[in-house]
Amino acid sequence: MFSDERDQLLETGGGLIKAAPLIDADPFLAVNSDNFWVDGPADTLKLLASHWDDERMDALLLLVPLARAENHRGMGDFHMDRAGRLRRRDRSRVAPFVFTGIQMLSKRLLRDAPEGPFSTNILWNRAIEEGRCFGAVHQGLWFDVGTPKSIKMTETALQNV
């Protein structure tokens, strides 16, 4: 299902809010379009779903170790404790995990959201503060394909797999 944003681009969070009336599942899966993954030993989406705990979670983000985040230029996004609870990377520091663009979310996360364009980071930050944002580690390959150059690099890498 798609939520049409041709009139106004709403970013990741605003897009979720606009699409919310179309979503009949809770929790639901949201996937950004600028990533490509290859399953590891387990089906990636089933792996993510197997980690979901509705009592503890409002957000479950699929993460990949920074060292395996192909075409990614950042310094990592998150630290994860033994229970899977996430915290943000400290400024000017490296974090061991990168968000893959794949997540399971409870509709609870969407409460009191801003109107118009905004980043999902606003919702995640609240979930982190409440101790309700968790991570699961992807076991397969993951590629950032957000630019034409990274698409070509990904195609080249996949020829060697």
**What integer pLDDT is reported at residue 1 of this predicted model?**
62
Q: Tell me how far apart the alpha carbons of residues 114 and 61 are, in angstroms, rounded to a whole number.
A: 21
Q: What is the pLDDT of residues 70-121, one digit of tens each?
A: 999 899 999 999 999 999 998 889 999 999 999 999 999 999 999 999 999 9
Q: Containing domain of residue 37, as a range?
A: 11-159
Reading across the β-sheet that carries 69-70, which strands appear in turn? 35-38, 141-144, 69-70
Reply yes or no on whether the pLDDT at 130 is more than 70.
yes
Domain contains 24: yes
Backbone phi and psi for residue 22, each to the nearest 5 degrees, phi listed first? -85, -10
Report the CATH number that the domain containing residue 132 is assigned in CATH.
Answer: 3.90.550.10
Burial class (CB in 10 A: 0-12, 13-18, 19+), 111: exposed
| Mean pLDDT of all residues belonging to the chain | 94
The domain total for the chain is: 1
Domain contains 98: yes
Domain contains 6: no
**Predicted TM-score (pTM) above 0.85:** yes
Domain contains 1: no
Locate tokens 């310094």: which residue? Answer: 75
Domain contains 125: yes
Domain contains 44: yes
- Report the largest interatomic distance among the alpha carbons of the chain, rounded to a whole angstrom: 46
Q: Tell me how far apart the alpha carbons of residues 59 and 30 are, in angstroms, rounded to a whole number.
A: 11
In the structure encoding, which two tokens stand for residue 65, read together?
A: 């170790």
Domain contains 138: yes
